[in-house]
Copies of this chain bind each other. A is one copy, B any other.
Amino acid sequence: MLEVPLDRRDRAPLYRQIAQHLSRMIERGALAPGQKLPSARELASSLGVSRTTANLAYDALEGEGRIRVRGRSGTFVVSRPDGELLVSGGVPLPQPLDLASGEPSPDLLPDPSHLRFLREGLGEGDLSLFAPSPVPGREALRRALVRHAATRGIPARWEDLVVTSGGQEGLCLAFEALKSLGVRRVFFEELTYPDAPRIARGVGLSACPLPFEEAPLVEALGEAGPGDGVYLVPSFHNPTGRTLSMEARKALLERSAARGFWILEDDTYGELRYGETSVPALKALEGSDRVVYVGSFSQVLLPGWRTGYVLAPEAVLGPLCALKALRVGALSSLVQGLVLRFLEGGGLEDALSRNRGVLSHRMRRFREALRNVLGERAPLLPEGGVFLWLDTAPFSGDKARSLLAARGVLVVSGQEFCLRRRTERAVRLCVARLGLRELDEAAGILGTLVGR
Which residues on A are within 8 Å of B, measured CB to CB? 1, 3, 5-9, 11, 13-14, 44-50, 103, 106, 109-110, 112, 115-116, 118-119, 122-123, 125-136, 138-140, 159, 162, 165-166, 168-169, 172, 195, 198-199, 202, 302-307, 314, 317-319, 321-335, 338
Check if B168 sits within 8 Å of A327, measured CB to CB. yes
How distant is the Cα of A9 from the Cα of B166 in the complex, in angstroms?
A: 23
29 pairs, CB–CB < 8 Å, chain A vs chain B: A5-B139, A6-B136, A6-B139, A7-B138, A8-B128, A9-B128, A9-B140, A11-B128, A44-B322, A45-B322, A48-B134, A50-B135, A50-B325, A109-B130, A112-B127, A115-B122, A115-B125, A115-B129, A122-B122, A131-B304, A165-B329, A165-B332, A168-B326, A169-B328, A172-B327, A199-B327, A305-B332, A334-B334, A334-B335
Chain B residues within an 8 Å CB radius of A333: 8, 304-306
In the complex, the chain B residue whose C-beta lies closest to that of A1 is B314
What is the count of identical protomers in the complex? 2
Check if B132 sits within 8 Å of A48, measured CB to CB. no
Contact among B13, B50, B136, B169 for A48, CB-based, below 8 A: B136
Chain B residues within an 8 Å CB radius of A125: 112, 115
How distant is the Cα of A138 from the Cα of B9 in the complex, in angstroms?
A: 8
How distant is the Cα of A14 from the Cα of B132 in the complex, in angstroms?
A: 9
Chain B residues within an 8 Å CB radius of A319: 45
Are A49 and B6 CB-contacts (below 8 A) given A115-B126, A198-B326, A305-B333? no
Chain B residues within an 8 Å CB radius of A326: 168, 172, 195, 198-199, 202
- Point out which of A6, A123, A317, A338 has the most chain B C-beta atoms below 10 A from its C-beta: A6
Check if B302 sits within 8 Å of A130, measured CB to CB. yes
Distance to closest chain B CB from A340 (angstroms): 10
Check if B334 sits within 8 Å of A45, measured CB to CB. no
In the complex, the chain B residue whose C-beta lies closest to that of A127 is B109
How distant is the Cα of A195 from the Cα of B321 in the complex, in angstroms?
A: 15
Are A334 and B304 CB-contacts (below 8 A) given A8-B138, A115-B123, A318-B45? yes
How distant is the Cα of A132 from the Cα of B98 in the complex, in angstroms?
A: 17
Check if B306 sits within 8 Å of A330, measured CB to CB. yes
How distant is the Cα of A328 from the Cα of B171 in the complex, in angstroms?
A: 9
Chain B residues within an 8 Å CB radius of A133: 8, 304
Contact among B1, B8, B135 for A134, CB-based, below 8 A: B8
Distance to closest chain B CB from A308 (angstroms): 10
